[in-house]
Structure 1
Amino acid sequence: MSSARLHDRIGRKTVPRFFLLRPFGRRNMNDIAVKSEYTPEDLLTMPDGYRYELVDGTLVERHRGWLAGVIGTELLFRICNFNHQHKLGWVNQGGDGSYQPFPGKRLVRKPDVSFVRFGRFPGERPPSGHALLAPDLAVEVVSPNDLYEEVDRKIEEYVRAGVRLIWVISPQTHTVRVYRLNGSSTSLREDGELDGEDVLPGFRCPVGELFPAEPDDGDSPAA
């Protein structure tokens, strides 16, 4: 069977939207090849690999949802504008910015927004595959279907890998939790301000501006 036909058959499968997915093939082993574990290289060759992270060889779907996507895009836009002016490094998002911070392990993370300072990529060129390093900044926007245990694990991995600044944004509570490599953390509410610290020196963003404003009754379209 050609790879195109195989992908077409997989594409028609309905996969339950759990945060932690079973490996492909376990639901119907007669239709697609079974793999008990995947590798970072597998993720690069999968037609829809951008949708997944890899945790201990298991595919994990990244599904942010609309609200989390809007918030992540707003922050991405602000960081990109700041970086365009100051030229500090490389900015990436979600499925396009994949990191394998522990080479040799079957672990690939894709922060919703990430930043790597100039001088860290070999030859000062971004890789064509996974970055074999940890970003300087990792941003996670928590979605309703994210498990708290999984978010905590990501934070622990980021710190262990050497991520200098981590922002975990909660659309539900309109708060941001800031984690630093030195072990300190801070909780910011809507009246607080994100600070790029020594990772993005000079960057500021009011927390409240990340969240879409509730429409006034007069702003609602007429029925």
Structure 2
Amino acid sequence: MSALIINLRPTIDLTDDEFYEFCQQNPDLKLERTANGALIIMPPTGGESGYRNADLITDVSIWNRQTELGVVFDSSTVFKLPNGANRSPDVTWIEYDRWNTLTPGQQKKFPPIAPDFVIELRAETDALSDLQEKMQEYMDNGVRLGWLIDPQTKQVQIYRQGQPVEILQNPFTHSGETVLPGLVLDLSRIFR
């Protein structure tokens, strides 16, 4: 099962508050919205994707607790990007200084901010080209570092601002570089 895309415009043009309320009224659906206002209904993932994603978020969260440099978010969090899209990466991290520029109301709903770091973990239901487009959208909207992790091909595609995508084949570990200093993820568990 792949994502279902529903084009609403020009018939329906949801405001940010209406989209937020729509999501609250449909908590069993994982929803995103494109910059053009189309709704994306994401299918649930299976057990393998679930435990892999839990491993990734655990590692990033432990690093973050040790360094106290920012805030970590799971895949349930939707961010409003500068281009108007509402996206929910599998793992997200934002520096405290940037997070604290948002008002409490902005932090409570769908934060209007491009994260500093994102991870997208490819599930069997995900089309690789869709995830690559999503990763490029993140970069175009100010995300500093992004990893597209594909357990099916045992690859990590690394997205950096202003640089070509780097592809690593079956890496044992990978570092957070200067964006997440000291973070080293053990990817061997992801690629078993």
Q: 1:137 aligns with which of 114, 117, 123?
A: 117
Deviations 1:11-60 (A, max 9, x none): xxxxxx54133359xxxxxxxxxx64434323311222561000121211
User: Which gives a bigger RCO, structure 1 or 2 (Cα 8 Å, sep 6+)?
Assistant: 2
Q: Percent identity?
A: 25
CA distance 1:203–1:152, change in 2 (3 Å): same
Q: TM-score, normalised by structure 2?
A: 0.84
CA shift, 1:173, in A, is: 1.4
Gaps in structure 2 of 5+ consecutive residues: none
Q: Which has the higher strand share?
A: 2
Quick check: 1:22 aligned with 2:6?
yes
Tell whether 2:146 aligns with 1:166. yes
> What is the RMSD computed on CA atoms of the aligned residues?
2.3
SS of 1:139's equivalent in the other structure is strand
Q: For residue 123 of structure 1, report the CA deviation from its aligned partner.
A: 5.7
* Deviations 1:115-156, CA, capped at 9 Å, x for gaps: 001100226867011111100001111122223332222122
1:84 aligns with 2:65: yes
Q: Which runs of 5+ in 1 are unaligned?
A: 1-16, 25-34, 214-223
- For residues 191 and 161 of structure 1, the distance between their equivalents in structure 2, rounded to whole angstroms, comes to 27
- CA deviation profile, 1:55-110 (whole Å, cap 9, x unmatched): 12121122351222221110000110111111010000112x2111126x3x1010
From 8, 11, 20, the equivalent of 1:44 is 20
What is the number of residues matched between the two proteins? 183
What corresponds to 1:109 in structure 2?
87
Give the SS at the match of 2:143: coil
- Structure 1 residue aligned with 2:96, among 89, 96, 118? 118
The residue aligned with 2:135 is 155
Please say which of residues 155-164 and 138-147 is displaced more in the overlay. Answer: 138-147
Match of 1:7 in 2: none
In the alignment, residue 117 of structure 1 is paired with which amino acid? Answer: E
**CA separation of 1:181/1:85 partners in 2, compared to 1, >3 Å: closer, same or farther?**
same
Higher-Rg member (1/2): 1
SS in structure 2 of the partner of residue 94 of structure 1: coil
Inter-partner Cα distance in structure 1 for 2:144 and 2:87: 16
The residue identity in structure 2 corresponding to 1:210 is I
> Residues 38 and 58 of structure 1 are in contact (CA less than 8 Å); yes or no, is this contact kept in structure 2?
no
